[in-house]
Amino acid sequence: MGYIYLTLMFVLSAVNLAVLSLRFQNQRNNYVYYAFYAILVANFGHWLLGFSESVEGAIIANKVNYLGGSFLPMFMFFALLQVCKMSIPRWLHLTLIFMSFAICALAMTVGYFPAYYKTVEYVVQAGVGNYVATYGWAHGLFNAFLVSYVILDIWIIIRAILHQKMVSLKNIIAMIIGEIATIMSFFLARFLGSDMLIMPFIYALDQILLLYICNNVKWYDITECVIESIETESSCAYMSFSIDGAYLGANRIAMDFFPELVKMRVDAHLKGETELQQHIISWIEKYRKSRILTDYCQMTEFNYSGRHYKCEVKVLRQVHGKNVFLFRIEDNTQERQYIDALGRSNSMLQKNMVQTENEKLSVQEKWIVGMAQMAESRAGNMDGHIKRTSEVVKILVSMMRKKGFDNLSDKFLDVLIAAAPMYDLGKVAIDDAVLRKPGRFNVDDREIMKTHAEKGANIIEKLLSDVKDSYFVSVAKNMALYHHERWDGQGYPEQRSGENIPMEARIMALADVYDALVSKRCYKERMSFREARDVILASMGKQFDPHLKDSFLECQDQLMDYYCSVDH
């Protein structure tokens, strides 16, 4: 049974290491990996000792055991520091490393000098090979070494409980369990006079507790979550070059966008032989001529192989001691096609527009509503939504005008009403597969849909700058860009909060949600007016501007009269 037990413990430690490597590939606490490797080596030493048949074999197996066991307490301590978000002075860090090497070196003298073991005798215990030794002075140092780490571990855990609020209590409890098991096993092994059958199990238990902690750290570490999310969901290409034009690398999406990158060798310098290389060289030259030494960031657009791309060029300071270029590139072809198509319509409209100002304004307004209806018609489950939300805005603004709300000017309120139909124009640039999807969106669909706010603002700016005055364009852009922001800062795309959200967007947000609540969708039934009112009121101060509460309540009758007269 002893042989089976030792084999199982060795295999279990190897399996745990495999789980760590596969499940936590982005584990940033490298000391966890080092601890797992040390445990694997130590358990391999125990396994060799169990199968040994002579004192020479037992000594060799024991040295393998110490090769892992001498460094394991140090790796566990350093891993614990990172989990608890704590640090120690550099001199102490180096001292602990030196001590581990010293203990390991002393353990390697067994069989040659009496410093660690004075005598070693081969025995068979519990049916497996083992040894009995009389300890020398160096082994006393090893005991003090272990006790020191136990004290340090307990100190770290206590400090984490008292001061580190960002450390999960679940992790702290797991650390306490591991420390108690280690202390108890130490005294039990000394009482029985052998740690042969105790320590392999304790080592495997430590691995399991570390896996549990790693899983929790992954859950609570927002940085790691963000990095994984970006890597998984990003549709952007990233390329990196040195200041002197040497290629440093690119992600998979960049190689899909620009196949020539697959053939480029890292550290090879740009020669301007291809269209892409010429673009990159020109951006590098712009940086050199700019003489900007800090916070350099340049936005540009370019065409490549029939596709249109948006590019952000940044200089990252002191990456491995040097400055490097980072290129973030997004395929903007579809949005550009929509903008160009609408732009052509815009040009035709301007050429054929009648000269009188009244007629011109009438045509412009019809054109604006037409574009908005085009966006709505592509979203097959939102028939009449634009028209209804525009009417809700008109009703709400009429009440605000009557109350003299916040001294808002008549011009602002008039422009707000006129621009309301354009707030969801960005959906024109959303792919049909997402926009026309029946039922509720999944996570990926929602992330794609979220881009409609920025796309809408971009379209409005590029199409209306020559048709409407700058004030109208500003109000329309704000409604499109910020109508999904929340008063508590939990909205998108910029997580604005409170009065940092433009008033026109706050009003539009309330109208948009109200219509969604009282209208039928393919994935839900309509709410009653009372239920919708209660939902809106409950969200005042969270999702909506609480200052709009009184105006919203006072126009309930007008809202009900309107919705009873239309299909919703």
| pLDDT above 90: percentage of residues in the chain | 21
Predicted confidence band at 365 (pLDDT cuts at 50, 70, 90)? low
- Is residue 13 a contact partner of residue 204, using CB atoms and an 8 Å limit? yes
Give the least confident one: 8-22, 256-270, 292-306, 499-513: 292-306
Q: Please give the average per-residue pLDDT across 4-9, as a whole number.
A: 90
Let me know the angle formed at the C-alpha of 411 by 410 and 412, rounded to the nearest 5 degrees.
Answer: 90
Please state, in angstroms and as integers, the Cα–Cα distance from residue 30 to each residue in 33, 44, 160, 171, following that order: 5, 21, 20, 17
Q: Which residue has the higher pLDDT, 371 or 244?
A: 244
Q: What 8-state DSSP symbol labels residue 526?
A: P
- pLDDT value at residue 352: 55
Is residue 428's pLDDT more than 60?
A: yes
Per-residue model confidence as pLDDT tens digits over 137-162: 988 888 888 888 888 888 888 888 88
- Is residue 370 a contact partner of residue 348, using CB atoms and an 8 Å limit? no
φ/ψ (deg, to 5) at 520? -85, 140
* Torsion 204-6-38-40 (CA) sign: negative
Per-residue model confidence as pLDDT tens digits over 528-538: 889 999 999 99
**What DSSP letter does each residue of 110-122 carry, written as one string?**
TTT-TTSEEEEEE
Per-residue model confidence as pLDDT tens digits over 235-251: 788 888 888 888 888 88
Other Cβ atoms within 10 Å of 559 Cβ, number: 22
Per-residue model confidence as pLDDT tens digits over 463-518: 776 666 788 888 989 999 999 999 999 999 999 999 999 999 999 999 999 998 98
Tokens linked to 508:
């539009």
Tokens linked to 494:
């910029």
φ/ψ (deg, to 5) at 313? -110, 125
Query: d(Cα 180, Cα 200) in Å, to the nearest integer?
Result: 16
Helix (H) / strand (E) containing 331:
strand 322-331
Give the residue from 267, 241, 229, 238 showing the smallest Cα distance to 319. Answer: 241
Burial 14-47 (b: 16+ CB within 10 A, else e): eebbeebeeebeebebebbbbbbbbbbbbbbbbb
Q: What is the pTM of this model?
A: 0.47
Query: d(Cα 283, Cα 245) in Å, to the nearest integer?
Result: 10
Predicted confidence band at 313 (pLDDT cuts at 50, 70, 90)? confident
| pLDDT above 70: percentage of residues in the chain | 82
- pLDDT value at residue 358: 47
Cα atoms in the Cβ-side hemisphere of radius 13 Å centred on 434 = 17
Query: d(Cα 11, Cα 16) in Å, to the nearest integer?
Result: 9
Tokens linked to 499:
């009065």
- pLDDT value at residue 484: 93
Radius of gyration (C-alpha) of the chain in whole angstroms: 34
